[in-house]
Structures are given as structure tokens and as C-alpha cells.
Structure 1
Amino acid sequence: MTDLATKPDADAELPKGTPPVVDGENQADVEGSTVESSTVEPESAVEPETADVDGTDEVVDETSPEETTVVLDDASPEDTTVVLDEPAVERDADPVDADPADADPADATGEVEDATVAMESTHVGAAPTGNGPDAPAYAWAPAEPKPRKSRKALWIGLGAGVAVTGLVASSLVLIAPGTSIAGVSVGWLTPGAAAEAVQARLANTTIVLTGAGGDVEVTGADLGASVDATGLAETAFAEHPMWNVTAWFPPADEVVVQLDDEAATSVLRAAAPELYADPVDAQVEFDAASTSYVTVPAEPGSGIDLETVRQALTDAFASGQSEIELPVEAVPVEADIPTHVAEGTVGQLNTILDTAGFYIGAERTVPIDRATAASWLTVAPGDDDTFEITADAAAIQPHVDTLAAAVNRAPENAKVITDSAGKVLREESGGQSGREVGDTSNVASDFASQLAEGSGAFALPVNEVPVTTVALARRIEVDLGDQRTYMFENGNLVQSYAISSGRSATPTPTGSFRVYAHTAEQDLGAACRDPSRTDSYCTKDVKWLTWFAPDIAFHATYWHNNFGNPMSHGCVNMPTNVAEFVYRWAPVGTEVWVHG
């Protein structure tokens, strides 16, 4: 800006019609003075001046009164200063991010294209005239600033874009409008907020117990009511997201309300105590007289039906009602442990008593009496409204300690009778394997666990001792000279008896023979078959005949006692007990040697 400081003539006048501006410092000096208009004529000799602004040559016309600021100091002609401002230069538009608040008001005169000289005057009485000490000071008024370019459209566009972006983003996490869960509107909500709204509505839903209930109010929260609010909200969002306009305003989802039975019963009992009577659970007892378990039947109680309450709460919640009336009355309440449960347990326990014992295979080797088995058991109500059976391993252990004596058994060897060549003539005994109880360190605890599961038959760990077969080679020797019979087993003499062999007229044949038959009792002699024969004899009821040669046998003799001497018709006479022993000891095929 070009400043021209000149001192105009004292008689200089302001342009006509232009009001003077009174300098604030001299306002008090002009009190009661009158300001007369005068005109200041610009110097015609001043040539227009060229200014270079931002590289552009522009012409500043300093002769225009509209572009000139005149400051008049009334103190003296020497103090009068005329300041001519530069004309405003047309400049480029400010950047969009310029802040109007940052503009310096002192620079406003440099940004005006057509500044208008405005003279403001303060009149207090009559303004003094002339250039005396009381003359007021005048100044040209600042020009109005150039209006800034409007950018409202740009800012509105940016705001609208942000709003649209936010709406699109919201549609990805919100449930569609018009969606409801059991009467609870969850549209425009996130799944988390929807879950909270559903649970809050349920908690505040109220049931008024009318009739015998005495109009007492209980809420869903009091009853411990709950729904799968999180699952329902997530399902609502999955099936009806806000971005899918085809899923808007769907039908309401149905829900299932659950009650905390213990909390609900407690609240309802407190609300209507006269409707409640406690049921009595069935019991199981051991009757010592019959040594059996018996059932003590359950007794029903009374109270408010929880299912009716739950359904009423569900209906109110589903229909969006905040309150519903429910007429209530006492209904039978079954015991937690009914009679049929006790009866089933009694049957199981008595089966244990019937079968209690230690078993080897199917054999109940060591039985346990019913009273003893019952003393091992404890029966008490369980957590699942049944009965729990437990057994005392310490009480079982003393019986385990006696098992070895009761169970262990030595093997019985098998025996076979053979001839001297080893040919088996008869199986004397099949034999029996032995047994020994195995490790019993865990038997008591294992049996206790098994009894708790309902089984009284405990299979013992047993080791088998195998059978050994013994062969006995037997033979008989008859010494006619000594009138004795000798019996050998595996070469060893086991018995020797005096006998009576045949007399000289009817001698006993000698040689090697084998037993070929046995007869328990028989009549001897041809006369027995033909009484007319006088050359024979007949001896009735002869016992224990062991035949080893034609018509020759070892047999019992009851008609004489002269053993050690020949007395027979050829057979070998023996005392009755000896004859029976030989009869049973020598099977068919036993070797017999008769010599003199």
C-alpha cells in the first residue's frame, strides 16, 4: 500500500455529503462545536502508480476519492495527514482449509476492491471549525472487507457421505427393524443389546397369584426365569440382519421359558404358605426278623404347580404383557423319591443277600449269610432322587482272611490198574485237580465296589493244581505149599492171607492165569443144578467169587475156618472179608500165578 502524507491547506474542504470521523483522542475537545463539511480535492498531478502483487501488474488509481483515506488533524495545518491506501488487488481464492478466524483485521484495507470513504461524525453541541486547537481530527473509515467465497456445499457433502457410511456400517451389526423376540422389539439393536433387552423384559414380567394366592405378585426374576437370550438374539441377527431388507418385519420368534425350580418353589411357598405341605420320601429299611430289606412308602405333599406358573409366564412374555393374573390352588406334590424307586432298590438289595458269597466258577464256595452281608451295606438317598448303595471294605476284610483255609485243596491223583506190562485194566479213580486262592490284597475293596453296583457274587482269584495219574501194576501169587495168597502192587507186597486150596483128590490147578470174571454170589456144585447126582455137591449162597481158571475162583468160605490147610474141591477158599477184598482189588485181566 502506498501512503501519501501531506499537509493540505487549512482551508481544504471535505467532499460534500461526506460526514467527518472524529478522532477518539480529540472527542472531548469538540464538545459544543459544530463540524462544517469541507471537501478535499485530490491532487490532479499525481500519476497512477503501478503495483506488483503476486507477480501481477495492476494499476492503482490514487485519484479516486473512493479509494482514499483522509486523516484530518485539527491541531494545526502541519499536523494534518492525508493517507491514501492502496487500492485492493484481486487475489486468488483462499484454500478450502483456510480459517476465517485467522485473518488479521489490520489487513482488511488491503483486500478491498472498491473502498468507500466513510466519514463518521460525533456531534456534541456544535463542532468547531477551522484549524484551531479545538478543531476535531478526521479519518477515512475503513472499507468493508471483500465477501469470502462460500464452501457450504462442500461441507454438507462431506457430512452426508459420513452419515451414509455410518448407516451402511450399522446395517452390518444391527438386527432388522420390526424384529421381535417373544414380544420384545429388538430391531435396530445389536445382538448383545437385544439379549439384554429380552432378559430384562422377562425379569420384569409379573404374575399376580389370585384366588388362594392372595393377589401376591412375583416377577420373572423372583422365579429364576431364564431364556437363551444370547442364542435367540444371535439367531435373530443371523436370520434378520438389518442390511437384508427382505428380512425386515418378520413374525415374532417363540421362546421357551425355564424356571429355577428351587428358587421358584421358595418364592411361591413364601407367597402362599397355606398351599404347601412337604412330601415324605420313600425309605428302605432292613428287617432283622426276616433278614430282608423292606419298603416304607412315600407320602405326597401339596403346593403350586410350577409348570402352570411357567406356562403363564411364557404366555405373558410371548404376548408382550408386563403383568398377568394366575388363579392358583394346591395340587398334589410327589415326593422326590417315590415308592416305586424304593421298591426297585429293595429288590436289588435282597438279590444281593440271596447270592452273597465268594464263588469259584458257578460254585458258591464260601457263602455269606444274609445278616452279615446286610451289615456290610449302607443305603441312603442319592443325588438323583434314587438310593445309593455303599459297602464297607473294612468289614469285608476279616472274611477275606479266612478264604485260604476254606478254598485251598490238594489235588487227588488219578489211579489206573495195569498188568505187569502196563496195560490199563481199570481206571480206579479219575482224580480231582487241586486249587489255591490267588492274590487277595484287593478282594475286600473290589467286593465292596461290586456290592455297591448291586452284585453279591464275587468271583475269587484261584490257581489250579493239576491232577497226576498214578499207574498200579497188580498181580496175585498163590503158594500151595505155604497155603497162602500174596498180593503185589508195582512189585510191592500189599497183603498176604492164609487160604485153603484143593485137596489131593480135587487139586487146585497150577500155572499162570488171568482174572476173567466176577460173581458176587452163586451156588456151587453140580448137585445144585441136578440134585440126583450123587457124585457132586451143592454149596448154597457162596459170595465174592473172582474167577481165574475154568470153574476155579477165589471165594468166601462160611462152612469152615481151617485156613492154611487144603480143604476145597479145587477153588481157593478165603475168609469172607479177604474174598471181598480180592474181589474188589483185582480187575479183569489181573495176572494170577499158582505154584506148589
Structure 2
Amino acid sequence: MSEVITRSEPDGSVPPETPEVRWAPAEPAPKRRHLGLKIGIPVAVVTVGAVAASLVLIAPGTAVAGVPVGWQTPGMAADTVSSHVAGMTVSLGEGGPTVSAADLGASVDAGSLADAAFAQSPMWNLGSWFSEVGGAEISLDAERATATLRAAAPELYTDPTPAAVSFEDSSYTVSPAVDGSGIALEDVRAALEDGLSDGSATVVIDPTAEPVASATTTEMAEATADTLNEMIDNAGFYAADERVVAVSATKLASWLTVDTDASGAFTITADPAAIQATVDGLPEKVDQDPESAEVLTSESGAQLVTLVEGQDGRVLGDTDGIARDFAEQLTGGNAAYDLPVEVTPRETVTTTRLAEVDLSEQRIYLRENDKVIDTWLISSGREGAVTFTGRYSIGWRTPLQDMSGTSRDTGSKYTQPDVPWVMYFNGNQAFHGAYWHDNFGNRMSAGCVNMPPHLAKKLYDWLPNGADVWIHA
């Protein structure tokens, strides 16, 4: 927009000749054109992109186990190597059936190989271009490979016979496994690995047979049979450490099923319903009243002989769930079941026995808990060969013995054959029977205490080793 300016005289009039003057605003100065900058930006972008690409791509000409992976990221290279391996094929002999590596479950650690290739040959390192990364190890999925090869060449396979466990004649026995045969997977794997290194998409092998072991081995069967036979040895229902109801081998085997699982391992299962019939009969076999034990002791309290074992009282608790719990326990190989019982401990009655010999009376007294229960005449050592007085105990005994020695009173030697029911209590002095005289009640012996043979037998049976003997005048 322009501005109009007029000139006036001092009196305010405008001279006619005064021209009209208009001022127009100044136009902006023209901008300088930067042609070089417009050209440089795309070049810089390209340059930065190339540098960035060189930081993430594998160098041109690089190969992993013969597979070109140049100009690829490690992830792309891993896919390339995996796809190449999966696309390989194996021919079983010239003109024979062909299977793909993918069907064999062939694989490589492509990720590690691609990472190794990038680490060794990044694109930015011009000196590493056109390099080779080897060391590719192919692995096979054994189950898948075997199924594929067997389908392609069934004539090269025979099935192995698995080991078996069976119950015969009160124990478990083993039938050993027998190997089958099939194509050696290592030959196939090695051929694929060689083909990968050589750049061959198809490899040919002359298939060789190798033994194929059963998944259920003889060793597994033997271990299972050992477990089952140990179960037979211990099978039963227990109260504390006592097996109160035994389970026979045949009955235990009727409860059990021995089978194998998908891996070929043996399994043991048990039928709770079959066990329940035995559980139902437990109360009448387990429950019992307590009975006192009877033992012989010396005067010092040492236990010498158990006369009556006695028994603890027992009452069986709740039997619900025993069959189920025992069945579960049997699957783990344990055939000893601890019953829920309430126990009343037995009482123990002690008895002390003493053989007392009164030399002045020439008589023996049999004392039980200090009460005389029997007595009879004896013959002790004569004058000069006396029976020594004192407190003794029964040591070694024998039902029959030839006796010989030297009399202390006469010094003469003697021999007495077949002396019955001999019990020594003090050195070579003993109780025994005497068949060569009947003058009992008088001192007749060379130091022993003798008596009629039938009474010597009675004493022999009544007085145990370690029991007390008292000889006095």
C-alpha cells in the first residue's frame, strides 16, 4: 500500500504546481539458491545407509558350510542354511529309494553358524570378503529318521525282541532281550554332513545294517525282577517290626501287573479290589490279647533263659483305605505295609533258680524265687577230696562224658566212662549222675556232687547255664 504526501504554504493553501508523490514499499531481496545442498542430501542418505548396512550384513562371497550367505543378516543366513539342509536328499544305494533330510529330522545349529559367519566376515571388513565358515554338524531325529528309512526300505529292518518279566514257581524270572537290525543312522548323518560340506544337494549311501536294541533291555528286566522278588521276601502286613499277616508269592503276584510304558521302562501296578479281600480278613488275624513273658534270671538279675515268649496285645484300627494305599505303595516296590494298630505291651515275669547243696545234710535243694520246689540226697566229695564251699554258677555242660583224673586224697588215677548229665560249676567240680553206686546221702566222690542219673537229668533240664549254685556246710 502507497502513502500520499502534499506540500502546503504557510497560510495553508496548496500550490497548484505541487506534484503528488507516492512511496511504494521495498520488495524483499531475492533468496540465494543452494543447489549444492539439494544434491548432497540424497548422497548422504545413501552413504549413511551403506554404512549402516555394512554393520548388519555378512560380507559378500561368504559361505557357511558351502551355503552362500553374503549380503544377508545373520537371521536371514540362519534361515538359508536351515532351508538348504532340509532340502537335501539321501538315496539308499544307486537308483534306490530316496528320502529328504527334512523327513529324517536333519538339523544344524544354523543360528550359531550364521552368528559365527557375521563375526568372522562382517561386510564392513573388506579383508574378510569371500570367506568360508565350516564346522557344520548335522544331527538327526533318531525316531523320525528310523521311521522314514524303515518306510523307504522295510527289507533292511527286523524288530528287536524286548526283555520280559514273568512269574513262575513262586518267583519272577527274566526273558532276555534280542537285538533287531536296521540302517545305521550314523552312516546317514555322516553322508549328509559330507554332502553339505561338498555342496552336494543329494548324497548316496550304501546302507549297512547295525544292531537295533530293544528299548526294554535285559538289564531293565533284571532290575525289575530283583525288585519284585525282594517284594515277595517281605510281603505282608506289619505291626511295628512284626509281620503279623504274611502275603504269599502267588497271592502277591495275583495283585500285580507288570507292564512297560511308551519308553520301554517297566511299570508295576496293583489292583486294590484284589487286595481288599485280604484286608477284610485282617482283624481276626491281627487282634490278640496280651500274654505275659516268663524269663529265668540269675540272682544278680541277668536274664538267662526265656521260658515263655508271651505276646503283646493288639487291636487293629480303621481299615478303610488300606487296600488303596497298599496298592499305591506296591507300585513303588514296597510290599511291607504298616498297619494302624493299638499295642498293649506284654508283661514279663522273672524267675530266679538256685541249686543249694547242704554238705552237712548231703542234700540238694532246688529253689525258685527262694522257695524250695524239690530236694533229694546227693554224694559230695569224701574226706581229703572235699567239695569246696562257696557261691558259683553253672558254666559248661554236656549230656555225656568220660571222666578221668587223680584223686586228691589217694593220689591214684581214675577213669569213669559215660558219666551222664554233667554240669560244671567250680573248675573241675560238677553236678553229674552216678550209675556206679546208690549210696547217696554219704560222701562218696572225688570232689563232684553226684546223684542218681534220673535226678541228674532233672537238674540238667531245670538249671540253665549262668544259674546260681550255693555250696555250704
Normalised-by-shorter TM-score class: 0.5 to 0.7
Report if aligned partners of 2:86, 2:101 keep a CA contact under 8 Å in 1.
yes
| 2:247 corresponds to 1:310 | no
What is the aligned counterpart of 2:29 among 83, 92, 115?
92
Q: Distance in 1 between matches of 2:214 and 2:153?
A: 24
Q: Distance in 2 between matches of 1:475 and 1:311?
A: 93
Aligned-partner SS, 1:334? strand
Task: Answer with 1 or 2: which has the greater Rg.
Answer: 1
Report if aligned partners of 2:191, 2:205 keep a CA contact under 8 Å in 1.
no
Q: For residue 428 of structure 1, what is the amino acid of its counterpart?
A: L
| 2:158 corresponds to 1:283 | no
- State the Cα deviation string for residues 386-444 of structure 1 (Å, max 9, x = none): 541424274678778879869999895653333xxxx67x8633798988999996666
- State the Cα deviation string for residues 194-253 of structure 1 (Å, max 9, x = none): 22222222233344555351xx55433343332222232233233433334444333223
Which residue is 2:11 aligned to? Answer: none
**1:337 CA displacement:** 0.3
Q: Distance in 1 between matches of 2:225 and 2:131?
A: 62
What is the aligned counterpart of 1:183 among 63, 66, 72?
66
Over 3 Å counting, the alpha-carbon distance change for 1:161 and 1:573 in structure 2 is closer
Which residue is 1:88 aligned to? Answer: none
Question: What value does the CA root-mean-square deviation take over the aligned residues?
Answer: 5.9
What is the aligned counterpart of 1:163 among 29, 34, 46?
46
Paired residues for 1:351-370 under 5 Å: 351-352=226-227, 355=230, 356-358=232-234
Q: For residue 320 of structure 1, what is the amino acid of its counterpart?
A: G
Q: Distance in 2 between matches of 1:379 and 1:396?
A: 16
What is the aligned counterpart of 2:82 among 199, 221, 224?
199
Q: Distance in 2 between matches of 1:543 and 1:231?
A: 95
- State the Cα deviation string for residues 82-141 of structure 1 (Å, max 9, x = none): xxxxxxxxx62336xxxxxxxxxxxxxxxxxxxxxxxxxxxxxxxxxxxxxxxxxxxxxx
| 2:270 corresponds to 1:392 | yes
Q: Distance in 1 between matches of 2:450 and 2:120?
A: 115
| 2:329 corresponds to 1:450 | no
| 2:202 corresponds to 1:324 | yes
Identity %: 28
Q: Distance in 1 between matches of 2:295 and 2:170?
A: 46
| 2:222 corresponds to 1:347 | yes
Which residue is 1:133 aligned to? Answer: none
What is the aligned counterpart of 1:416 among 297, 307, 331?
297
Aligned-partner SS, 2:266? strand
Which residue is 1:507 aligned to? Answer: none
- State the Cα deviation string for residues 44-65 of structure 1 (Å, max 9, x = none): xxxxx99966548xxxxxxxxx
Aligned-partner SS, 2:105? coil
Paired residues for 1:3-402 under 5 Å: 55=26, 92-94=29-31, 149=33, 151-211=34-94, 213=96, 216-272=97-153, 275-286=155-166, 288=168, 292-295=172-175, 297-298=177-178, 300-302=180-182, 304-321=183-200, 323-329=201-207, 331-332=208-209, 334-337=211-214, 342-352=217-227, 355=230, 356-358=232-234, 371=250, 374-375=253-254, 377-384=256-263, 386-392=264-270, 394=272
Q: For residue 472 of structure 1, what is the amino acid of its counterpart?
A: T
Over 3 Å counting, the alpha-carbon distance change for 1:163 and 1:217 in structure 2 is same
Q: For residue 242 of structure 1, what is the amino acid of its counterpart?
A: M
**1:484 CA displacement:** 10
Q: Distance in 2 between matches of 1:350 and 1:188?
A: 63
Over 3 Å counting, the alpha-carbon distance change for 1:328 and 1:568 in structure 2 is closer
How high is the TM-score relative to the length of structure 2?
Answer: 0.61
Over 3 Å counting, the alpha-carbon distance change for 1:522 and 1:92 in structure 2 is closer
Q: Distance in 2 between matches of 1:409 and 1:287?
A: 39
Q: Distance in 2 between matches of 1:218 and 1:381?
A: 32
**Gaps spanning 5+ residues in structure 2: where?**
3-19, 380-388, 404-408, 411-416
**1:382 CA displacement:** 4.3
Q: How many residues align?
A: 405
Over 3 Å counting, the alpha-carbon distance change for 1:176 and 1:489 in structure 2 is same
**1:545 CA displacement:** 9.5
- State the Cα deviation string for residues 23-72 of structure 1 (Å, max 9, x = none): xxxxxxxxxxxxxxxxxxxxxxxxxx99966548xxxxxxxxxxxxxxxx
Over 3 Å counting, the alpha-carbon distance change for 1:575 and 1:268 in structure 2 is closer
Q: For residue 173 of structure 1, what is the amino acid of its counterpart?
A: V
Q: For residue 115 of structure 2, what is the amino acid of its counterpart?
A: E
Q: Distance in 2 between matches of 1:230 and 1:501?
A: 106
- State the Cα deviation string for residues 441-497 of structure 1 (Å, max 9, x = none): 66664454136xxxx8x697999979969462747598x99x99865433444x245
Aligned-partner SS, 1:450? coil
Q: Distance in 2 between matches of 1:193 and 1:390?
A: 51
Aligned-partner SS, 1:200? helix
244-253 or 196-205, larger mean C-alpha shift: 244-253
Over 3 Å counting, the alpha-carbon distance change for 1:445 and 1:569 in structure 2 is same
Report if aligned partners of 2:354, 2:469 keep a CA contact under 8 Å in 1.
no
Q: Distance in 2 between matches of 1:164 and 1:405?
A: 95
- State the Cα deviation string for residues 488-534 of structure 1 (Å, max 9, x = none): 433444x245x6799xxxxxxxxxx76779998999xxxxx99xxxx
Over 3 Å counting, the alpha-carbon distance change for 1:517 and 1:194 in structure 2 is closer
Q: Distance in 2 between matches of 1:337 and 1:397?
A: 37
- State the Cα deviation string for residues 1-39 of structure 1 (Å, max 9, x = none): 99xxxxxxxxxxxxxxxxxxxxxxxxxxxxxxxxxxxxx
Report if aligned partners of 1:393, 1:448 keep a CA contact under 8 Å in 2.
no
Over 3 Å counting, the alpha-carbon distance change for 1:230 and 1:397 in structure 2 is farther
Q: For residue 314 of structure 1, what is the amino acid of its counterpart?
A: E
- State the Cα deviation string for residues 358-391 of structure 1 (Å, max 9, x = none): 299999999876555555554444444x541424
Q: Distance in 2 between matches of 1:585 and 1:433?
A: 20
Q: For residue 357 of structure 1, what is the amino acid of its counterpart?
A: D
